[in-house]
Amino acid sequence: MDTLPAASGDAAEPLTPAQLRELYSLMVAVRHLDTSAIAWQRQGIIPGYAPELGQEAAQVGSGYAVDTTRDFVFPTYREMGVARTMGVDMVAYMATHKATWHGGLYDPQESRLAPIQAVVAGSVLHAVGWAHGQTLAAGNAGTNAANADGKLGVALTYFGDGASSQGDVHEALNFAAVMKAPVVFFVQNNGWAISVPTERQVAGGSVAARAAGYGMPALQIDGDDVVAVVGATRRAFAHARAGNGPVLLEAMTYRRGPHSTSDDPGRYRSLDEERDGAGTDPLERLRQRLLADGIADEAFFAEALAAAKAEEEQIRTGIQALGSRPGTEMFDLVFQETTPALQAQAANWREESEHV
């Protein structure tokens, strides 16, 4: 299924050997950090985590297409790989999983990654609102030059096949299409909505097929092929950036582990079913491609793994060093205007904190 116009310009440029090696290094870093985060939860370092084993190509490939000088990404609770690819400080990102601060300690405006969204499908509405703001800003400037010059910022929003059944998604798709908002809706179809397989909760079996009902182009891609993901996301960005409206991408992949660290996938599928459904490991797939094309050797792969391990150690140390957040932040960041009673309460709280 491909109703997206052919790529042109920079979007059509093939990845260089250096970029392919960079993608592999990113995927190794994400894979190692992801599996380590599960161990951290078991060790009590963080209280909960949503794994993404098997989805590294979908996340790294799509995140790689983002222009952090003008675009904005709206994640769910499972886009650690996207955050890492965009260069977000991972200690600050993982602060959310440590449950010390809502949305993470990173700066969304600077990083161009919105706060982590735990409300299923909530991020799509935020993305459409931001994207519509881009078109309004261009209109207020009295010109459509931002569109013609390809300078329009694009919102990239993530959701899963399970979230696609939420009403918020349909509202977001409809509004974005009507208003021609520059949004790329990126569906990671990992086969499961927690314990419910896709075929039991997505009518027709395809989320991408729904885009036709909203008059927007869509593309269903192999979400385990990072090169294909980069190419498709670049095409989608180019289409939206030119003022042509939204695009829906459906990356077909597989969740190779539990929905979260509190989930037991053995209750709804067997290990044999998981192995059969998962297919080829996306990391091994890229590794074999690099070897076949003579782009990398065993020394490179060993170096990438060593770097990933060193990075994981640094992040783990940083997370463990995070202290409790001061309760006074509620008064500083929650209320736009505090009442006299709240001001007095905040003053008392700060005074008591100084004497603890």
Give the residue numbers annotated as catalytic, written as ranges: 255, 259, 268
Q: What's the token pair of residue 41?
A: 């939860």
Q: Are 281 and 28 in contact (CB under 8 A)?
A: no
Buried b (16+ CB within 10 A) or exposed e, 182-206: bbbbbbbbbbbbeeebbeeebeeeb
Q: What's the token pair of residue 153?
A: 């910022």
Cα–Cα distance list, 92 to 86, 100, 115, 263 (Å): 13, 10, 11, 25
What is the distance of C-alpha 94 from the center of its chain?
14
Pairing outcome for strands 183-189 and 192-193: unpaired
Q: Ramachandran region of residue 180, left (φ > 0), alpha (ψ -120 to 50) or beta?
A: left
Q: What is the DSSP string of 274-332?
A: HHHHH-S-HHHHHHHHHHHTTS--HHHHHHHHHHHHHHHHHHHHHHHH--PPPTTHHHH
Q: How far apart are CA 230 and CA 11, in angstroms?
A: 9
Max Cα-Cα span within the chain? 69
What is the distance of C-alpha 240 from the center of its chain?
18
How many of the other CB atoms lie within 10 Å of CB of 317?
10
CA-based nearest residue to 231, from 4, 1, 7 = 7
